[in-house]
Amino acid sequence: MMRFMLCQNNTTQVGDRELLQVWRNNIDSWIWVDLYNEPDEAERAFLASEFGLDESSINKAQRNRHPPSIEIFKNYIYLLLKPLDAQSDSLDFNTYQLAMFTADRFLVTRRSKESSYLEKRWQALVQEGSVGQSPMALLSAMCHRVAERYGKILLDLEQRLDAIEDELFDSPTDSLMKELVSYNTGLRKMHRILNYYVDIFGTLRQHLHKTDNPQHDAFDDIYSLIERFTSLCALYQNVITDLIDAYISINGHRLNQIMKVLTIVTVVFVPLSLLVGIYGMNFEHMPELKSQYGYYILLSIMSTLVAGLLYLFRRVRWI
């Protein structure tokens, strides 16, 4: 799919490639071209010929997997981001590639998946016109949206971590451990992406300040958001690591308690088993074997042993 929107005199016009000629003839206009699921060769030829884009940047935008990046050229800015897809609202998230080529008079977006947000922005421009809009303003709005969606997942996670901490000390279960491990995996993936964004938006804001672009304040805010969310991501990773360590420690303590009880039971019953084993041997000449009170004497000895061992364990605070 390849669609075109021409913005001029605060109005918008949607059409096909014929709008490119109108755009070239009117220097006060700008155009938004949105690309999705186009053949690579045709797409590459179109971008290179119509907008003079660098082929290496186009190739990066067309790769199925490529880390977020930025390249600042003389006449335009190339930005590759990994927004969350529409179904991602937790740390079990998926991303898609969104490449944006931005200049004073054009914005080209190239995405690897359907994007409900881009569709809303497109429809809003169609209905409301392009008052106060520009390619860089649209770029900042899209980047802000990307940052906000990552932040929402992190802020929602904070409440869940507080609940897990309470549950962990009340009734630690294997399901909590699995949940923490899955969160840690998602945070590691998110932290890697956000680290790319810190470098990208740091570079972009510096460039906008140098060129005195009116959108530099907007990108200052985006950079602050990304820095904050990156710090939160690292903080939550540390919290989850501590909770996992606490879970392991609690389980280790419980296991030690169980082993202590089993050890006490074993120590108590070993001498009893010894006596029972000895008197279970059917030899003719055994002490007290013919005694009238032998049974009671043996029970008394066994009871005394049990009581003595329990008293000893109590003194050393094993029980």
For residue 36, the domain's CATH number is 3.30.460.20
8 Å CB contact between 34 and 109: yes
Q: Which of the four pLDDT bands, split at 50, 70 and 90, describes residue 206? A: very high
Task: Supply the pTM of this predicted model.
Answer: 0.79
- Find where tokens 């390619």 sit: 135
CA dist 139 and 141 (Å) reads: 5
The domain tally of the chain equals 1
State the pLDDT confidence band at 260, using cuts at 50, 70 and 90: confident
In a domain, 4, yes or no: yes
For residue 184, what are the CA distances in angstroms to 95, 239, 242?
18, 10, 11
- Has residue 318 got a pLDDT over 80? no
The amino acid present at 4, given as its one-letter code, is F
User: Residue 12 domain-assigned?
Assistant: yes
Residue 254, Cβ density class (10 Å: 0-12 exposed, 13-18 middle, ≥19 buried): exposed
Percent of the chain's residues with pLDDT above 90: 40
- Give a yes or no: residue 117 inside a domain: yes
- pLDDT surpassing 90 at residue 158: no
pLDDT of residue 312: 81
Considering the chain, what is the average pLDDT of its residues?
88
The model's confidence at residue 291, banded by pLDDT at 50, 70 and 90, is: confident
The residue segments making up the domain with residue 24 are: 1-132
Looking at the domain assignment, is residue 188 inside a domain? no
Distance (Å, whole) CA 199 – CA 204:
9
pLDDT at position 191 is 94
* Domain assignment present for 245: no
pLDDT of residue 317 exceeding 80, the answer is: no
Does residue 284 form part of some domain?
no
239 assigned to some structural domain? no
Smallest Cα–Cα separation from 3: which of 11, 158, 14?
A: 14
Specify whether the CB–CB gap between 100 and 109 falls below 8 A.
Answer: yes
Is 261 part of a structural domain of the chain?
A: no
% of residues, the chain, pLDDT over 70:
98
pLDDT of residue 199: 95
